[in-house]
Amino acid sequence: MKTLIRSALLLLATTAPLAFAQATWYVQTVIPEVISVRTPTTSIGFELSLENYPPPQFPARYAATSLEDGVLPVQVFVNEPGVWSLLLEIPDLLDESGNRLIPAEQILFRVDGGPWLRGSNGPQEFYTDVGATDGWKELRLEFALELKGHEPPGEYAVNVVVSAIREP
């Protein structure tokens, strides 16, 4: 009996440290500083027909018809403090030969139902905020085409560029 107890104690003494052993690892993650923009990959279209063109007078404004009710949803995600801005570039409408048919200034846009602004070939700041967003922040851009009466007939569509910058 004594031998059995000694064997059990010896077994317990040699295996106990293994049962309670543990290891510690230092776990580190790096979340990069991010400013990210998401938009649909589609064209913005303006549909004119014999029912609504020519208008009673010029200049005349036509709301975009393609996309959902002519609205381009823009989503932005920022996880860094500081000032950040969204920029919009609207190119001139060109024909197949590269000739300018309608200048970018005749394409109007507004943000979340605000005042109408004229487009520009170059980057144009249209929204500024400070600090991180709470998840993805969505803005709604609406577009309109202003015709002055001398534009040639044809199918008009435009691809706009939305980008984001953060001030250092």
pLDDT of residue 20: 61
Q: Where exactly are the structural domains of the chain?
A: 32-166
Give pLDDT tens digits for 99-145: 888 999 999 999 999 999 999 989 999 999 999 999 999 999 999 99
pLDDT of residue 8: 58
Confidence grade of residue 4 (pLDDT, cut at 50, 70, 90): low
* Region for residue 81 given its phi and psi (left: phi exceeds 0; alpha: psi -120 to 50; beta: otherwise): beta
Compute the distance between CA of residue 103 and CA of residue 113 in angstroms, rounded to an integer.
23
Give me the helices (H) in 40-140, please.
none
Q: Class for domain 32-166, per CATH?
A: mainly beta
The token duo for 124 is 């144009």
- What's the 3-state SS for 21-45? CCCCCCCCCCCCCCEEEECCCCCEE
pLDDT of residue 135: 93
DSSP string, 102-117: E-GGGEEEEETT---E
Confidence grade of residue 79 (pLDDT, cut at 50, 70, 90): very high
Write the CA distances from 152 to 59, 80, 100, 147, integer angstroms.
15, 47, 11, 10
pLDDT at residue 5 is higher than 70: no
Which string of b and e fits 80-116 if b means at least 16 CB within 10 Å? Answer: eeeebbbbbbbbbbeeeeeeeebebebbbbebeeeee
Give pLDDT tens digits for 10-66: 555 665 555 566 777 777 777 667 899 999 888 888 888 778 888 999 999 999 887
- Output the pTM of the full model: 0.77
Lowest-pLDDT choice from 35-39, 69-73, 126-130, 160-164? 69-73
Confidence grade of residue 96 (pLDDT, cut at 50, 70, 90): confident
